[in-house]
Amino acid sequence: MNKLKKRMLGADGFLVKFYIYLTLIGVGFVFLFPLIYMVTYSFKSLEDLLNFTVNFVPTSLYLGNYQRYFEVIRFFPRLLETFYVAAVPSVLQTAVAAVIGYGFARFNFFGKKILLGVVLATFIIPPQVLVIPRFMLFNDLGILESIFAYALPAVLGQGINSAIFILIFYQTFRLIPKALEEAAQLDGAGHFRIFIRIGLPLASSAAIVSFLFSFVWYWNETFLATIYFRDALTTLPLQLQMFVESFNELFARQPDVNVNEGLEMAGTLLTTLPLLVIYFVMQRWFVESVDKSGIAGE
């Protein structure tokens, strides 16, 4: 009886495993369902959309939605522009967060805890609150409608959610044994060389996590991009936001051509596809990095 109870209710019991797998399947379905819906509906023709008997499997592989999307939006130029807008501030933000995190983790100075608290408190402040003063400042500096509107805050440690990345690097550098740095100092290495040769290689996991999250956030940002870039730089999420207007303008003389759900899903899929490709390519390193850069103290 005890053996049966252990097999059913123990740590490795059948019921425990059944509950875990059932929970994972349910959570996975919640996350995968929107993606499945988006992919299947993007290949549906207008006839399939109007036919209530056609649910997730279209009657034919219809590519017209993607063709129309490419007609409305210059996809590849916009794709390169989006990579430019997302990658430049992400690299700068990751590098600056590493320097700031290393400084907080390895140096003691007056007001360190207060300053660290202020830096982390900036995460609480919504970016919308700072839009007007930043817009006026950037206008006076003449950096509106250029990548510098993203690059300058990133260099100053005030990019999108920079406080999170500073905290990640801060905790990561705290986990590095000080004996390594002391040995390097005995060999004559300065603080900068120790940071480059010892700190950064050991904090590669934090760097990967910070860069990927920063890249995704800058990629998907539309509110700040609309205000700072206007028409100078146009990203794929911005184009998707204005897709209906652009479509109606292009096909104004064809009243029988209208925006439908399949067309919208095709545009959404193409906008998110580069991020999905990046994740699948870097999945192994990303998962390892998340595991290694967990927020924990010494």
State the greatest distance between any 2 C-alpha atoms of the chain, in Å, as a whole number: 79
Residue 200 sits at the vertex; the CA angle it makes with 194 and 203, to the nearest 5 degrees, is 130
Highest mean pLDDT among 5-9, 43-47, 78-82: 78-82
Quote the pTM value: 0.82
How confident is the model over 168-216, as pLDDT tens digits? 899 888 888 888 888 888 878 888 888 888 888 888 888 888 898 999 9
For the chain, the average pLDDT equals 82
The CA-atom distances, in angstroms, between 276 and each of 66, 240, 269, 281 are 18, 17, 10, 9
Whether the per-residue pLDDT at 117 is higher than 80: the answer is yes
Question: 74-237+270-292, what's its fold?
Answer: MetI-like fold (1.10.3720)
pLDDT band at 298 (very low <50, low <70, confident <90, very high): very low
Quickly tell me which residue has 């967990």 as its tokens: 294
What residue ranges do the domains of the chain occupy? Answer: 74-237+270-292
pLDDT band at 4 (very low <50, low <70, confident <90, very high): low
**Contact status, residue 235 vs residue 220, Cβ threshold 8 Å:** no
Q: Strand locations in 73-192, DSSP E?
A: none
How confident is the model over 242-265, as pLDDT tens digits? 877 777 666 656 665 667 788 888
CA distance 144 to 233: 10
